[in-house]
């Protein structure tokens, strides 16, 4: 998939570079001094967080979110596949007219990328890419590190301002006023917006839903209540197992940009798997 220049990505990269240099060479330097032990420790810690943030951001941009194999064909007689997603009308297996292929469970066609994406969550302009099966974890981990970096930088900004107001003269404070103002205008809304985004995706992961499935589930719940039944998301297999499905089986790898555990994206464990397993054991 060829992608050209992205203004949104340029804005994000510029903001990251600006915040990093202001944090290290203005906030930390003016609060602790870069050559002091606290200054070095904070500079190294913030650089580590910033590096992981950039690494995951780059991976989310460059990674293919998940391509449907051209040879994919749903096997309706396979006993190991307990459910098959169908169209809303007609009862036929999901088929993409634009890609001329069947769509696996949880796959959706992206109008921007112009192809079907496995376990598509949404198309994100800020990474100029879809968030799907293969890059969802790194996108989530990027948001985690971005929240940590923004809050860390904001704490250093406030601490630096407090220290400067007590010790610096007016002329010295005026020299860096623009950096403080611009950083504050960036960090406060970014910290709030990214924290909300992080909370939203934590909720989705715990429910094993994508953003698309959440909105589809709202309608499904309404239709179920109208018909006197109870709707349950079929891919919700329990909070902890939902977490390991997305982030990996080892808790020590949850904040690392590795996604070797995710499988091929053509089949996902469901709540029906447990039902069929328990009934078989009986």
Element (H, E) at 145: helix 136-167
Nearest 10 degrees: Cα torsion 235, 238, 243, 245: -50
- For residue 169, pLDDT over 70 is answered with no
Q: Where are the beta strands (DSSP E) in the chain?
A: 95-96, 101-102, 108-110, 115-117, 122-124, 129-131
* Catalytic positions: 124
Q: Is the Cβ–Cβ distance between 139 and 127 less than 8 Å?
A: yes
pLDDT reported for residue 267: 87
Percent of the chain with pLDDT over 70: 85
pLDDT reported for residue 227: 76
pLDDT tens track for 144-168: 999 999 999 999 999 998 886 555 5
- What are the extents of the domains in the chain? 7-162+174-280
Task: Give dist(CA 236, CA 48) in Å, integer.
Answer: 34
pLDDT reported for residue 280: 45
pLDDT tens track for 217-252: 887 777 777 777 777 888 999 999 999 999 998 888
Calculate mean pLDDT across residues 89-117.
Answer: 85
pTM exceeds cut of 0.85: yes
């Amino acid at each position: 998939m060829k992608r050209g220049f992205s203004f949104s990505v340029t804005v994000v990269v510029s903001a990251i570079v600006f915040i990093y240099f202001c944090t290290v060479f203005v906030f930390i330097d003016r609060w602790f001094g870069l050559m002091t032990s606290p200054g070095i420790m904070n500079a190294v810690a913030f650089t580590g967080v910033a590096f992981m943030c950039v690494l995951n951001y780059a991976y989310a941009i460059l990674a293919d979110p998940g391509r449907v194999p051209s040879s994919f064909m749903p096997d309706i007689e396979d006993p190991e596949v307990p459910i098959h997603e169908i169209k809303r009308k007609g009862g036929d297996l999901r088929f993409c007219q634009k890609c001329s292929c069947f769509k696996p469970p949880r796959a959706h066609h992206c109008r921007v990328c112009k192809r079907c994406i496995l376990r598509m969550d949404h198309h994100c302009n800020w990474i100029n890419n879809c968030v799907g099966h293969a890059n969802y974890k790194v996108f989530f981990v990027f948001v985690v590190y971005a929240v940590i970096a923004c809050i860390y930088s904001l704490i250093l900004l406030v601490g630096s301002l407090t220290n400067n107001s007590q010790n610096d003269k007016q002329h010295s404070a005026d020299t860096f006023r623009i950096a403080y103002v611009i950083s504050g205008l960036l960090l406060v809304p970014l910290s709030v917006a990214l924290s909300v985004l992080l909370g939203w995706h934590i909720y989705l992961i715990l429910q094993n839903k994508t953003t698309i499935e959440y909105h589809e589930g709202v309608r499904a719940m309404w239709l179920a209540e109208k018909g006197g039944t109870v709707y349950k998301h079929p891919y919700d297999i329990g909070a902890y197992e939902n977490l390991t499905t997305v982030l990996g089986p080892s808790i020590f790898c949850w904040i690392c940009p590795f996604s070797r555990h995710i499988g091929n994206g053509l089949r996902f464990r469901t709540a029906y798997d447990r039902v069929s397993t328990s009934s078989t054991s009986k």
